């Protein structure tokens, strides 16, 4: 590995290298959710307590968990998508500088925004949407007719991104967590997004769906497609999801 950059990262993110955090300096706290264009209409999702999906035994869900790359042509319902979004980033409680959600996060910082490439979701035009977790709503992000093809290109040509019902794209907002944990927060980002994706795998079992986590993607391309600067916001993980093919 050139210059052992991985080892250097692990070394330089040890506690002994940390100084005083921006939180300790009493600098302005980062937003718990990035702002959005208020002129765009919001898309209501079924409320978490009203979502009705089949129950699945947790042991069964864990034992059946596997990566699935081929899917049926069936669409997700909006209720099913709401279940998956709630299971992966649903907000249960909001504090002054934290949110408690359906997944764990270092310091309850939850430094992610969720984008959805909706290929086949009932009630949604094909395109990219952003999940507003604090509001439990969706907002249009990019409905260009070629957006799915561009995301496939960014994902090293992995066609399941386009052929699935929906692809989840998690975007990191690092200052939301470095504000407290400084450079060590970059370790936590990767740990936390793993929690998120694992919940997607498990929650997918409730809606007869399979998931394939995707870590192989072109960073610059993916950030460009979503109009992210690559530093203050950047793609950190993806996962395709669709109805399972009957065996």
Return the pLDDT at 3.
73
- The overall average pLDDT reported for the chain is 97
| pLDDT, position 247 | 78
What pLDDT does 2 receive? 61
Average the pLDDT over 31-51 and give the result.
97
Domain range for residue 216?
Answer: 2-243
Q: What is the mean pLDDT of residues 106-133?
A: 98
- pLDDT for 166 equals 98
- Any idea what the CATH number is for the domain that residue 196 is in? 3.40.109.10
- 157 has a pLDDT exceeding 70: yes
pLDDT digits (tens, 9 = 90+) for 55-97: 999 999 999 999 999 999 999 999 999 999 999 999 999 999 9
Query: What pLDDT score does 113 carry?
Result: 98
**What digits encode the pLDDT tens for the residues 108-120?**
999 999 999 999 9
Share of the chain above pLDDT 90, in %: 98
Q: What is the mean pLDDT of residues 99-113?
A: 98
pLDDT of 156 higher than 90: yes
Domain count, the chain: 1
1 pLDDT above the threshold of 90: no
Q: What is the DSSP string of the chain?
A: -GGGHHHHHHHHTSGGG----TTTTTPPPPPSS----TTSPEEE---GGG-------HHHHHHH--B---B-SPPBPHHHHHHHHHHHH-EEEE-SS-EEESS--GGG---EEEEEEESSBTTS-SEEEEEETTTTEEEEEE--TTHHHHHHHHTTT-THHHHSSEEEEEEE-THHHHHHHGGGHHHHHHHHHHHHHHHHHHHHGGGTEEEEEE----HHHHHHHTT--SSSSEEEEEEEEEEBPP-
């Amino acid at each position: 590995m050139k210059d052992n950059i991985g080892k250097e990262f692990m070394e330089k993110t040890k506690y002994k290298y940390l100084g005083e955090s921006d939180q300790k300096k009493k600098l302005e706290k980062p937003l718990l959710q990035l702002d959005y264009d208020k002129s765009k209409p919001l898309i209501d999702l079924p409320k978490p307590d009203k979502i009705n999906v089949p129950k699945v035994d947790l042991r069964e869900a864990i034992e059946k968990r596997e990566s699935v790359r081929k899917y049926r042509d069936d669409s997700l319902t909006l209720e099913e998508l709401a279940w998956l979004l709630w299971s992966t980033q649903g907000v249960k409680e909001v504090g002054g500088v934290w949110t408690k959600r359906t997944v764990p996060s270092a310091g309850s910082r939850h430094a992610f925004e969720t984008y959805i490439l909706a290929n086949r979701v009932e009630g949604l035009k094909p395109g990219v949407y952003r999940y507003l977790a604090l509001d439990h709503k969706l907002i249009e992000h990019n409905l260009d007719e070629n957006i799915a093809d561009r995301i496939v290109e960014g994902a090293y040509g992995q066609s399941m991104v386009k052929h699935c019902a929906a692809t989840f794209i998690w975007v990191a907002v690092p200052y939301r967590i470095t504000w407290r944990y400084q450079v060590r927060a970059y370790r936590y980002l990767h740990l936390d997004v793993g929690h998120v994706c694992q919940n997607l795998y498990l929650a997918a079992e409730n809606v007869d769906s399979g998931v394939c986590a995707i870590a192989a993607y072109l960073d610059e391309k993916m950030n460009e497609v979503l109009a992210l600067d690559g530093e203050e916001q950047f793609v950190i993980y993806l996962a395709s999801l669709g109805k399972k093919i009957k065996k």
